Structure 1
Amino acid sequence: MLKKVMIADDDPGILDAVTAMLEFGGYDVSSTSDGATVLEITDQLPDLLLLDIWMSGTDGRDVCKELKKREFSKNMPIIMISASTELERSAKDAGADDFLEKPFDMEELLNKIAHFLGQTN
């Protein structure tokens, strides 16, 4: 069964590129441009969430904190992404399992996802 990865980013170019890469890598990918919709998921959580810090109307760190507080989603790995390296510390403080700076290397992203999903790449 394919591992599910969800991408939450308000940049359509990133959504398209990362979705294509991950699907090519053998993942079942879903995406949203609104981080708040991630909080509405009550069943069928993804196996991993790739979450942008700055999205219009939503701070990914708030979404991350909320997901890590909830019993059913607290163990889901969350990799936060941002164009600003200064935000790595605050991403970790919000409970993110890892951080990637944009633009990121696709190989590095695939390796991090494989690591958190217990797969070898």
Structure 2
Amino acid sequence: MPRILLAEDDDSLRGFLARALERAGYDVTACADGDEAAAVLDQDWDLLLTDIVMPGLDGIEVARQAAARHPGLRIMFITGFAAVALAAGEAAPPGAKVLSKPIHLREIVNEVDRMIAA
């Protein structure tokens, strides 16, 4: 079962995302912020799904650390800030995908499915 590390500071969204991905057949570890996600980066992950703007470490820094530890790790960002999304495209590790909120849960699950299958 593919393993996803989810970092999202919005409690409701984190819960919705985790449940949707679990229903789709993924093993999800949900973290409330970037610091919590960084603390478990040494585990094996198939995909990092992270918000960009969070307290503590932001999603860009979590992704940089994750990519350094796990070359080839699939990384997907979600953000509600258009300007941040544009900047993330330049700062993100190669191959990372950026999705802008609001986004339907089904669309996120479909994008995760595509990234895991690639």
TM-score by length of 2: 0.86
Query: Whole-Å Cα distance in 2 between the matches of residues 42 and 8 of structure 1?
Result: 11
TM-score (norm: length of structure 1):
0.85
Letter in 2 for 1:62: E
Counterpart CA distance in 2 for 1:87 and 1:43 is 27
- CA drift at 1:42: 5.2
1:66-105 residue pairs with structure 2 within 5 A?
66-68=65-67, 70=68, 72-96=69-93, 97-105=96-104
Q: Which amino acid is the alignment partner of residue 57 of structure 1?
A: G
Q: Answer with 58-67 or 72-81: which moved more.
A: 58-67
What's the secondary structure of 1:44's corresponding residue? coil
What per-residue deviation string (whole Å, max 9, x for no partner) do you get for residues 67-109 of structure 1? 23x1x31311111111112222221222251011122112211
Structure 1 residues 1-121: aligned runs within 5 Å: 2-41=1-40, 43-68=42-67, 70=68, 72-96=69-93, 97-118=96-117
Q: Deviations over 1:22-50 (max 9, x none)?
A: 11111111111121233333542221011
Aligned residues: 116
Q: Name the Cα RMSD after superposition.
A: 1.7
What residue identity is the alignment partner of 1:76? L
Identity of aligned residues (%): 28
- Looking at structure 1, the residues matched to 15 and 72 of structure 2 have their Cα atoms a distance apart, in angstroms, of 27
Partner AA of 1:44 in structure 2: Q
Judge conservation of contact 1:62–1:94 (CA < 8 Å) in 2: no
Contact 1:7–1:51 (Cα < 8 Å) also in 2: yes
Residue ranges of structure 2 left out of the alignment (5+ in a row): none
